[in-house]
Amino acid sequence: MTRAAEQAILDAHFMARALELARKGHYTTHPNPRVGCVIVRDGQIVGEGFHERAGEPHAEVHALRAAGELARGATAYVTLEPCSHHGRTPPCADALVTAGVARVVAAMRDPNPQVAGRGLQRLSDAGIATESGVLEVEARQLNQGFLKRMEHGLPFVRVKLAMSLDGRTAMESGESQWITGPAARSAVQRLRAQAAVVLTGADTVLADGARLTVRADELGLDAEQTALAMSRPPLRVLIDGRLRVPLDAPFFKAGPALVATCMAVEEQYANGPECLIVPGDDGQVDLHQLLIELANRGVNEVLVEAGPRLAGAFAQLGLVDEFVIFIAGKFLGSSARPLLDWPLAYMKDAPELKITEIRAVGDDWRVTATPVVSASV
């Protein structure tokens, strides 16, 4: 094996560890990206760190502190290009230079226009060897929301659905409780916790008394991760074009929320939750505009938990990045409610999806699927 091939294997090995560290920030870093860092000297890890939350030190700073003087001449592995700008903390590129590291390996460039290659350039200018693109696919996966926002000015939208094996979400009457089991509900809790926003519609809140909160005892995480998740609950956003949900609904009693509507806010909402007026042409809330607003507020990931109508509207508008569908082993029958309200007449109009994963979750199954954008769009 050549020296270069050996180095590539070692680089991947240490980057995998840096990614593992980055995942510890799964529930807390937003609006910042999840980042991990490992400092390696003579083949030994001498410092590790990850970014925990915005305003606190970046991964590199934690790792450099842990390494101390051992950082001099070492290699730093970082899952995202070190920042070069003064944000709420000083630039990490400068910290790496000051610490005297000899080499910096990044999993990917930072798409943030304030960085975008300038971090690596800064290092390079200081005589540090730099490299990028090690385990890049995994690194991008880790920060889908941050990347979507930086690259498209929109949050990553994940639509969670729960259906029977015959594709139904509720009986015709609306009866729908407990389609899936406790393991699936716990998985949904974690999806909520990792999102910056959990979004729903008035139908769901009115019909089910839904609160869409994160509950510590249902997360199924260890104490450390539970504490992190509970320290940074998602903002709950209600789409209620005609302000049908009363302020004494369980949803509003469960904590802060944002209401997206198309009406001028009426008096009874004056002392209530914050309202965002985003009217669309069709008398409905403009979902695209709402997502832009949320991205402008730093929202990386949105979890949509809504009925067939609102979920169908997001899907029809092409605003969905990922569907997470929990499938319960039962038939609800042909008169039950559909997965998405989305009438289509011809096969040629049927949207294609790529099923990326199917996994058992307790007695239920979880399907992850991403829309396939056709070449003609």
342 is in an annotated binding site: no
Three-state DSSP class for 53? coil
Looking at the Cβ atoms of 129 and 358, the one nearer to its own copies is 358
What kind and span of H or E run contains 104?
strand 103-106
Identify the sign of the CA torsion 244, 248, 251, 253.
Answer: positive
275 is in an annotated binding site: no
244 is in an annotated binding site: no
Q: Cα–Cα distance between 187 and 135 in angstroms, integer? A: 26
58 is in an annotated binding site: yes
Q: Cα–Cα distance between 245 and 252 in angstroms, integer? A: 9
178 is in an annotated binding site: yes
329 is in an annotated binding site: no
For the beta carbon of residue 250, count every other beta carbon within 10 angstroms.
Answer: 14
Among 334, 374, 375, 376, binds its own copies (CB under 8 A): 334
Among 129, 277, 372, 373, binds its own copies (CB under 8 A): 372
Q: Is 354 in the site for its own copies (CB under 8 A)?
A: yes
Q: Is 266 in the site for its own copies (CB under 8 A)?
A: no
Active site annotation includes 301: no
Q: Is 347 in the site for its own copies (CB under 8 A)?
A: yes
Please report the DSSP string for 237-274 in residue order.
Answer: EEE-TT--S-TTSHHHHTS-EEEEESSPPPGGGTTSSE
Q: Between residue 135 and residue 164, which ones bind its own copies under the rule CB under 8 A?
A: 163-164
Strands 129-132 and 274-277, bridge-based pairing: unpaired
Among 6, 172, 266, 274, binds its own copies (CB under 8 A): 172
Q: Is 323 in the site for its own copies (CB under 8 A)?
A: yes
Q: Cα–Cα distance between 223 and 216 in angstroms, integer? A: 9
Q: Is 187 in the site for its own copies (CB under 8 A)?
A: no
Q: Cα–Cα distance between 54 and 91 in angstroms, integer? A: 14
> In this structure, what DSSP letter does residue 322 have?
E
Q: Cα–Cα distance between 131 and 173 in angstroms, integer? A: 59
Among 173, 271, 374, 376, binds its own copies (CB under 8 A): 173
Of 48, 16, 20, 23, the C-alpha closest to 228 is 23
Q: Is 116 in the site for its own copies (CB under 8 A)?
A: no
Question: Would you name the residues annotated as active-site residues?
Answer: 60
The footprint of its own copies (CB under 8 A) covers 163-168, 171-173, 175-178, 308, 312, 315, 323, 325, 327, 329-336, 338-347, 349-355, 358, 360, 363-365, 367, 369, 372
Question: Which residues are documented as binding site?
Answer: 58, 83, 92, 162, 176, 178, 192, 204, 208, 212, 215, 305, 307-313
Question: Which residues are documented as binding site for NADP(+)?
Answer: 162, 178, 204, 208, 307-313
